[in-house]
Amino acid sequence: MKQIWDERYKDNEFAYGKDPNLFFKEWLPEFDPGTILMPADGEGRNGVFAARLGWHVTSFDLSIEGRAKALQLAEEFGVTLEYIAGDLEELEFEKETFDAIGLIYAHFSAERKSEFHRKLNESLKVGGIIILEAFSKNHLELVRLNPKVGGPKEIEMLYAKAEILADFANYEILMLEEEEILLEEGKYHIGKGSVIRFVGRKVG
């Protein structure tokens, strides 16, 4: 998996563009800046956006190439990121460290998804915010029709609202919707996609 992402990110062109995800861009300014964790931050478009708003950003991703591009993008915008290249399974964060977590197209294997969500939940402070956008299980048919829209090909890696409710049961739901949207993010997210959008506040 690491090799796949290194190959994608080593090009000079930014695979998903330099602009932040639109849902993340809409919701993050609703909250006062603090510390934010950005799993699977790739080339850093979302982490850099958060840093530009005054957040102290900790990003991580499997890809060394992604890290290099993210630090390049941060320098371009005159901000800094703490960026760790590694597997979430190997990373340890202190409990209740972060004020927010941005989960933007952070797709995990079926057997690891809920465990990773638990680990991330533990790292978030009570009162902290999660902003999540990811492909829904209904996206599989759309990617068959248009591979350029991107996303996992295995349905178990995709999301359903019921999974969000189960994995983040200790959250006040500020938003939870499944929507069809038009993606224009670089050259790997192009076309109509079906996504789950979730914003939640940890209450316990």
Q: pLDDT tens digits, residue range 177-196?
A: 999 999 999 998 999 999 99
Q: What is the mean pLDDT of residues 33-37?
A: 98
Check pLDDT > 90 for residue 4: no
% pLDDT > 70, the chain: 100
Domain encompassing residue 173: 2-202
Instruction: State the total domains in the chain.
Output: 1
From the list 173, 175, 177, the residue with the least C-alpha distance to 202 is 173
CB atoms within 10 A of CB 137: 18
Determine the Cα–Cα distance for residues 186 and 191; give it in Å rounded to an integer.
11
pLDDT, tens digit (0-9, with 9 covering 90-100), for 110-156: 888 999 999 999 999 999 999 999 999 999 999 999 999 999 989 99
Check pLDDT > 70 for residue 1: no
Q: Are 79 and 48 in contact (CB under 8 A)?
A: yes
CATH of the domain at 141: 3.40.50.150
Can you give the pLDDT at residue 90? 75
CA distances from 198 to 13, 73, 113, 136, 167 (A): 29, 27, 16, 12, 12
Can you give the pLDDT at residue 21? 98
Q: What is the mean pLDDT of residues 95-103?
A: 97
Q: What is the mean pLDDT of residues 49-65?
A: 96
pLDDT, tens digit (0-9, with 9 covering 90-100), for 63-76: 999 999 999 999 99
